Amino acid sequence: MIKARVTVTLKNGVLDPQGKAIEGALSALGFEGVDHVRQGKVFDLELEGTDKTKAEAELKAMCEKLLANTVIENYTISIA
């Protein structure tokens, strides 16, 4: 079994209204000095098998086809 984590974040220059809302909420809760909040997504996956090279290729395909909108998002893959 291979455990992996995919982190998806918005590309630089893409507006992030949810990040802006979080930034405002943190300020309203008294957390001062927080700027430029960007939100993203994290996917923890378990894949059958032990071939890390194959798993990485499959994870990349998953990101390109479903997990990330590659027009506006970047992704990173981490295999444990």
pTM: 0.85
Query: Domain 2-79 classified CATH 3.40.1390.40?
Result: no
Q: Where are the domains of the chain?
A: 2-79
Dihedral sign, CA of 25, 70, 65, 4? negative
pLDDT digits (tens, 9 = 90+) for 4-22: 999 999 999 999 999 999 9
Mean pLDDT, residues 54-64: 97
For 66-80, give one letter per residue: b (16+ CB within 10 A) or e: ebbeeeebebebeee
